[in-house]
Amino acid sequence: MRIRIAHSPDSDDAFMFYPMVSGEIDTEGFQIEHVLADIETLNREAFKGTYEVSAISFHAYPYVADKYLVLPSGGSVGDGYGPIVVSKKPLDTLRGKRVAIPGKLTTAYLVLKLYEPDFCEEVVPFDQVMDKVERQEADAGLVIHEGQISYADRGLLKFVDLGQWWKEKTGLALPLGCNVVRKDLGEETIRKIERLMRRSVEYALSNVDKALEYARDYARDIKESQEKAFKFVSMYVNSRTVDYGEDGRQAVRLLLSLGRERGIINVDIPSTIFSDEV
């Protein structure tokens, strides 16, 4: 059976999927097809149910809950850290400012709207956000992926770390990305994919050198620094990636419910989110 697994071209996703796509673990008879696309593209493709398994933003999940369930493994969770807002010049506020964002369905955008509802967003590809700020074509930029590590190398200033803000506000880690599985695959296939995703993460964490060597090809402007690449991967592939845990699942529900209450999410939040709850 062919299973298309789609994820974003960043080092933490590459790290956790490496054992699965490289044949390091038993795929239980699945023929794995590897698909790469930026996270906002994957969010949009999930609306159509394009891929059997896909990385998406948690912000996007309520809109595709009719088609997908969240796998208990493979999540990207920031515990006291997360997407950051950067600027070229010091800022006192984001209110009324022009902010370059990597997509309106990203979790980073959802959290930024919770932090400050009144700003003027401009959607640009995630890897061009800091370029816009450097050229002062935007007052600030919402940075995801490896830019959270490399922004200072480009002379940019951190205005706020949204993961830190969320932790201070709620006491919880910030769930950012998830891997979803299509409901129409049926229970037996979904259970196999649950096992496969968990084994892939566990293998990567047990074989860090091999997985990191593979993942560094996706690390963009920090790929030349093994230390920085490892730091970034470690931020988002850890024990919470094996399983969210009860507090992680609580954080998911809180984040989505707050988004719904504030009118940022305009669909109902499903009562069942995770595949192992079915």
Annotated binding site for substrate: 107-108
Task: Measure Cα distances from 250 to 3, 254, 272 in Å.
Answer: 30, 6, 12
> Which residue is associated with the tokens 């969770």?
77
- The pair of structure tokens assigned to 179 is 């891997």
Coil, strand, or helix at residue 68? strand
Measured from the Cβ of residue 189, the count of other Cβ atoms closer than 10 Å reads 17
Secondary structure of 207-275 as H, E, C letters: CHHHHHHHHHHHCHHHCCCHHHHHHHHHHHCCHHHHCCHHHHHHHHHHHHHHHHHCCCCCCCCCCCCEH
Annotation marks residue 145 as catalytic? yes
Annotation: binding site: 107-108
Tell me the C-alpha distance between 120 and 139, whole Å.
10
CB 39 within 8 A of CB 163: no
Tell me the C-alpha distance between 28 and 91, whole Å.
53
Q: Which one of the listed residues 7, 34, 59, 145 is annotated catalytic?
A: 145
> Which residue is associated with the tokens 């208990």?
72
- The pair of structure tokens assigned to 119 is 């700003």
Tell me the C-alpha distance between 147 and 168, whole Å.
22
Type of residue numbered 216: R
Q: What is the residue-wise DSSP string for 192-205?
A: HHHHHHHHHHHHHH
Tell me the C-alpha distance between 249 and 197, whole Å.
17
What counts of helices (H) and strands (E) characterise the chain? 12, 11
Active site residues: 145
